[in-house]
Amino acid sequence: MTGLETRGLVIDVPGRSAGRPLDLGITPGQRWGVLGPNGAGKTTLLHTLAGLRPPRAGEIHLDGRPLARLRRRELARRLGVVFQERHDDFPATVRETALIGRHPFLAPWQQEGPEDLARAEAALARLELSHLAARELATLSGGERQRVSLATVLTQSPRFWLADEPTNHLDLHHQVAVMDLLAEQASQGRGLVMCLHDLNLAARWCSHVLLLYPDGEACWGPAEAMLAPAALERLYDQPLTCVEVDGAPVFVPRR
Amino acid sequence: MITGRRLLSPLAALALWLGMTGLVPATATAEVCVTDDADREVCLAASARRIVALSPGVTELLFAAGAGDRVVGAVSFSDYPPAAAELPRVGSYDRLDLEALLALEPDLVVVWAGGNPREQIERLPGLGLPVFFSDVGDVAAIATSLERFGALAGTDKAAGTAAAELRSEVATLRGRYAEADPVPVFYQVWEQPLMTVNGEHWISQALSLCGGENLFAEEAPLVPRIAVEAVLARDPEVIITGGMGKADSTWLEAWRDFPEMTAVRRDNLFFVDPDLVQRATPRLVEGTRALCAHLETARGRR
Amino acid sequence: MAGARASRIVLAPRLRPLAGLALAALLAQGLALALGSVSLAPGELLAVLSGDGEPLHRTLVLELRLPRALAAFGTGALLALAGALMQILLRNPLADPYVLGLSGGASVAALAAMLAGLGAALVSGAAFVGALASTLIVFGLAHGGGSWTPTRLLLTGVVMAAGWGALITFLLAVSPVERLPGMLYWLMGDLAYASTPWPVLAVAAASLMVMLPLGRTLNVLARGGLQAAALGVAVRPLEWTLYLLASLLTAVAVTTAGSVGFVGLMVPHMLRLRLGNDQRLILPASLLAGGTLLTLADTLARTLIAPQQLPVGVITALLGVPTFLYLLHRSRR
């Protein structure tokens, strides 16, 4: 089958008992949101799905092949990751940073060509970063830096996006712009998995939702079924008020 | 030992020509061979006329062997005899300027085996320079060094006289003090860190010649670093030091902090000119005489 | 501005700074051949270089100055290259080739060899073995539980370096007084030990050949291990390669000239301030700039207070520190 599939997957969160094994099927076009309180293992799950850390149990298959058997380069051509943490220890420009998204597609001795550069420029334009292309990363604001990370994965153009808090540091306008961009990617046949803190973004943009509880318990399914106030209140241990705006549920914490 | 290229140098050619015309003794052109202190055979086709000496002590020995006018280069602090102070320098003993050394076009380089950097010395033969390794450890070696330097420089007569004089003076001293009472001595080489000499050092041997007993003779290193406590524990009757230069008594005064020591109680704190004892050269006889005089003074205060 | 910057990433203009640095390297070699405690007129130098000239001048230039100038270049090149690689490996622009205790291992072994009274060749051999032993110990310990991170590697290395430092002090304390000057010069870094330039030059050239195709991959690794892995880099094998290669380069450099400080830390850093962090440019540029810096420094060390000779490490720091601070001050990064 095509898609990102987990079979009996147990992520390895140190000091936690196994919890519920995950059997997820993420197919192209789906927009998955991973919700959970701090420490529930959202980032760990994302890294495990990306093959960056081994699971405690179970398997992950990408388009029918076990992830562990794919070479990193092959994997990177199909699967891109937006990280929450970044290491900008060395000087680099915005353009150079977007351009590394082409790395998996170039042979070691190959230089980036005009076509690679055009892809990077297009990604920067899409994220409204063209005017910053020659700037040093160190001189950017947090939100601008976040958009550069998205531009890198957009340049990479993978079939599956794993995005850890893609709207981190972004102002309202850019939050919406980024979620629109991701939705557009999904509509072009790409699969999305996003760790989100904002219930309302999940409610508005996700087709599927995975709820991760701190004790390892989990449940998943179509968004409208999962976003039940009772389940969410238990998830965050926080009373919520739910109203409906423009046909989507909106959750507000109760005082 | 000597390469063809060196033979063709103008000076060597001149020497050859002078030899043929009988203006210098015939021995000057005959091959001379001596054994150096690294047990290597050093042979020169003609006696050395351009010698570079790589330690102050070696320079002094060469002058004493009558070869002073053949020394064309020396290292820093080569200040005795005064003529040596005027010589062109080829760096310091611990770091040589090989370029300056080569530029002097020496026909013999006398190396201080224990002090010069090996990695630099090892290059000299490859650059076509005959090398004599000098490592003088005692009075007997000073005498034979004089003789061998004389042989290499063609100043056998002067060198022979100097060596004979040295041996007889030492024999005289030995005779005079053969029956002298032993005196426990601490010889201080340096203050920070505190250093002395062991029994193999010529200073220790000079002391024992006139009845001095080096309290640290059994230490393994030639110049051991020791603790003040060790000196106090062995309670020397005499403390002698060369200090940092002429008549510098600050190191000696420091010992007065320990009035319970025999040496301090009897005021047996003596200074010797370090140049006379800390270089293995014929001046060591003079230094030995000074050491012996101090020991005699100490015996008088018993 | 933006356009020029764009083409810089993609195209040949990387060659321009490299050509400039190559020219500087050649000039430095020329200067090293021309200067010494014996002064040669330009005509005399040219005569020697054209296969002519007086025998003494030929010996001075061809047997003393040339091998030493080439060895200085090769050593500087290796150190700068090793520094650049170590900085990427540890994702820390302040790493240098010695940060993982490698020079300490080399120094302890070399000093022990000197203490045992061994000759120059054996001292060099001991330094090499010591450097590699230190590398393996640090790597083995950092590897320990199975996972290592750059931080763990760095911490292990720094602690090992402190241990080696204590051993060095111990060896200096128990060594006979007459051997101390040689040991101190070795510790300060000194090219009087370099008898032949070919090992350093060959290793420098070979390692550049190995690393250049990896340049873009290293750029990605500089963004962090996870990011690099997500972009298709086999991080662990690459890090092994980097570590072993940087160690080998440093070991060869230390073997040739003792532990010359400063070059490995500052040269890649200075170049990054001017040229950005594209390893395909930074690695060859480090090689050229490191070689040039050490050649100039050694020439000064030989001539500044001739016939007294200074250890080259003193000069690299005296030359490099103000230059570095000036560049840092001027840069807006």
Report residue B18's pLDDT band, with 50, 70 and 90 as the boundaries: very low
Question: Of B167, A99, A5, nearest to C6 (Cα)?
Answer: A99
Taking CA–CA distances from C256, the nearest residue in chain B reads: B119
Q: What is the pLDDT of residue B15?
A: 41
Cβ distance C176 to B222 less than 8 Å, yes or no, reads yes
Which single residue is written with the structure tokens 């050394």?
B101
Any domain includes C266: yes
Which single residue is written with the structure tokens 């699969």?
A191
Tens of pLDDT, residues C45-54:
889 988 888 8
Cβ distance C178 to B5 less than 8 Å, yes or no, reads no
Any domain includes B172: no
Q: What is the pLDDT of residue B26?
A: 43
Q: What is the ipTM of this complex?
A: 0.93
DSSP classification of residue C304? T
Q: Do A and B count as touching (3 or more CB pairs closer than 8 A)?
A: no
In the predicted structure, residue C115 carries a pLDDT above the cut 60: yes
Q: What is the pLDDT of residue C114?
A: 86
Q: How far is CA C249 from CA A58, A166, A193, A248, A255, in A?
A: 43, 42, 44, 62, 64
Question: Of C221, C214, C180, nearest to C91 (Cα)?
Answer: C221
| Residue A140 near residue A127, CB atoms below 8 Å | no
Residues of A in contact with C279 (CB under 8 A): none
Tens of pLDDT, residues B63-113:
999 999 999 999 999 998 999 999 999 999 988 999 999 999 999 999 998
| Residue C17 near residue C23, CB atoms below 8 Å | no
Q: What is the pLDDT of residue C287?
A: 96
Long-range contacts of B61-64 (CB under 8 A, 24+ apart): B61/B134, B61/B136, B61/B142, B61/B145, B61/B146, B61/B149, B61/B280, B61/B281, B61/B282, B62/B110, B62/B149, B62/B153, B64/B146, B64/B159, B64/B162, B64/B281, B64/B282
Taking CA–CA distances from A114, the nearest residue in chain C reads: C10
In the predicted structure, residue B57 carries a pLDDT above the cut 50: yes
In the predicted structure, residue B200 carries a pLDDT above the cut 70: yes
Any domain includes B82: yes
Burial C149-179 (b: 16+ CB within 10 A, else e): ebeebbebbeebbebbeebbeebeeebebbb
Verify that B133 and B201 share a domain, yes or no. Answer: no
Question: Of C98, C74, C96, C250, nearest to C168 (Cα)?
Answer: C98
Any domain includes A201: yes
Cβ distance C230 to A136 less than 8 Å, yes or no, reads no
Any domain includes A13: yes
Report residue B245's pLDDT band, with 50, 70 and 90 as the boundaries: low
Token pair for residue C131?
């450097």
Any domain includes C250: yes
Report residue C147's pLDDT band, with 50, 70 and 90 as the boundaries: low
Distance CA C31, CA B77 (A): 31
Give the 3-state secondary structure of residue A225: helix
Cβ distance A96 to C276 less than 8 Å, yes or no, reads yes
* pLDDT winner (highest mean) among A177-186, C38-47, C208-217: A177-186
Token pair for residue A109?
């001795």
Q: Of all residues in chain C, what percent are helix, strand and coil, respectively (each to 5)?
A: 80, 0, 20
For chain B, counts of helices (H) and of strands (E): 13, 12
Q: Which of C9, C93, C213 sits opposite A95 (nearest CB)?
A: C9
| Residue C192 near residue B95, CB atoms below 8 Å | yes
Give the 3-state secondary structure of residue B263: helix
Token pair for residue B49?
């006329």
Q: How many domains does chain B have?
A: 2
Report residue B3's pLDDT band, with 50, 70 and 90 as the boundaries: very low
Instruction: Measure B66 CA to nearest chain C CA, in Å.
Output: 27
Radius of gyration of chain C (CA): 20
Instruction: Measure C195 CA to nearest chain B CA, in Å.
Output: 8
Radius of gyration of chain B (CA): 22
Give the 3-state secondary structure of residue C3: helix
Instruction: Measure B49 CA to nearest chain C CA, in Å.
Output: 18
Q: What is the pLDDT of residue B8?
A: 38
What is the total residue count of chain A?
255
Distance CA C150, CA C90 (A): 5
Whether chain B has a CB inside 8 Å of the CB on C37: the answer is yes
Whether chain B has a CB inside 8 Å of the CB on C93: the answer is no
Verify that B141 and B192 share a domain, yes or no. Answer: no
Q: Residue B286: which H helix or E strand, with range?
A: helix B284-300
Verify that B13 and B69 share a domain, yes or no. Answer: yes
State mean pLDDT over B213-217. Answer: 95
Q: Do C and B count as touching (3 or more CB pairs closer than 8 A)?
A: yes
Cβ distance B223 to C56 less than 8 Å, yes or no, reads no
Tens of pLDDT, residues B170-182:
999 999 999 999 9
Tens of pLDDT, residues C241-295:
898 898 889 988 988 888 888 899 889 988 998 888 899 999 999 999 999 999 9
In the predicted structure, residue B144 carries a pLDDT above the cut 90: yes
Q: Which of 150-209 (C) contact B at CB < 8 A?
A: 173-174, 176-178, 181-182, 185, 190, 192-193, 195
Q: In sequence order, which residues have a C-beta less than 8 Å from that of residue B25 and are 6 or more positions away? A: B154
| Residue C286 near residue C83, CB atoms below 8 Å | yes
Q: Cα angle at A113 between A109 and A116, to 5 degrees? A: 110
Tens of pLDDT, residues C171-208:
998 888 778 888 888 888 888 877 789 989 999 999 99
Any domain includes A235: no
A162: CATH: 3.40.50.300
Which of B139, B166, B193 terminates a domain? The answer is B166
Distance CA A95, CA A118 (A): 11
Q: How many domains does chain A have?
A: 1
| Residue C37 near residue C68, CB atoms below 8 Å | no
Question: Of B53, B43, B93, nearest to B73 (Cα)?
Answer: B53
Within C90-234, residue ranges assigned H as helices are 102-115, 120-143, 150-174, 180-188, 198-211, 215-221, 225-230
The mean of the pLDDT values for chain C is 86
Domain that holds residue C317: 79-330
In the predicted structure, residue B29 carries a pLDDT above the cut 70: no
Verify that B125 and B210 share a domain, yes or no. Answer: no
Q: Do C and A count as touching (3 or more CB pairs closer than 8 A)?
A: yes
Verify that B283 and B217 share a domain, yes or no. Answer: yes
Any domain includes B60: yes
Distance CA A70, CA A50 (A): 11
Q: Cα angle at A171 between A165 and A177, to 5 degrees? A: 75
Taking CA–CA distances from C35, the nearest residue in chain B reads: B99
Residue B108 burial by Cβ neighbours in a 10 Å radius (0-12, 13-18, 19+): buried
Domain that holds residue A59: 4-227
Consecutive 10-residue averages of pLDDT for chain A (255 residues): 90 85 95 94 95 93 92 95 90 94 92 93 96 94 96 97 95 95 96 94 94 92 92 92 87 89
Whether chain C has a CB inside 8 Å of the CB on B141: the answer is no
Give the 3-state secondary structure of residue C111: helix
Domain that holds residue B226: 179-300
Cβ distance C222 to A86 less than 8 Å, yes or no, reads no
Q: How far is CA C32 from CA C29, C294, C318, in A?
A: 5, 11, 18
The mean of the pLDDT values for chain B is 87
Whether chain A has a CB inside 8 Å of the CB on C327: the answer is no
Any domain includes C227: yes
Residues of B in contact with C38 (CB under 8 A): 99-100, 102-103
Any domain includes A241: no
Cβ distance B94 to C177 less than 8 Å, yes or no, reads no
Q: Which of 66-85 (B) contact C at CB < 8 A?
A: 76
Q: What DSSP letter does each residue of C258-279 carry, written as one string?
A: S---SHHHHHHHHHHHHH-S-H
B223: CATH: 3.40.50.1980
Cβ distance A81 to C222 less than 8 Å, yes or no, reads no
Any domain includes C52: no
Q: What is the pLDDT of residue A118?
A: 96
DSSP classification of residue C60? I
Q: In sequence order, which residues have a C-beta less than 8 Å from that of residue C13 and are 6 or more positions away? A: C7
Cβ distance C2 to A86 less than 8 Å, yes or no, reads no
In the β-sheet with B131-134, what is the strand arrangement from edge to edge?
A: B71-73, B51-53, B108-112, B131-134
Residues of B in contact with C178 (CB under 8 A): 114-115, 222-223
Any domain includes A135: yes
Any domain includes B241: yes
Verify that B128 and B11 share a domain, yes or no. Answer: yes
C200: CATH: 1.10.3470.10
Question: Of B114, A213, A249, nearest to C178 (Cα)?
Answer: B114
Taking CA–CA distances from B193, the nearest residue in chain C reads: C173
Cβ distance B222 to C178 less than 8 Å, yes or no, reads yes
Token pair for residue A68?
């562990």
Strand intervals (E) in chain B: 32-35, 41-44, 51-53, 71-73, 91-92, 95-96, 108-112, 131-134, 183-188, 212-214, 238-241, 269-271
Any domain includes C258: yes
Overall pTM > 0.90? no
Cβ distance A103 to C216 less than 8 Å, yes or no, reads yes
Whether chain A has a CB inside 8 Å of the CB on C276: the answer is yes
Distance CA A194, CA C142 (A): 34
Q: How many domains does chain C have?
A: 1
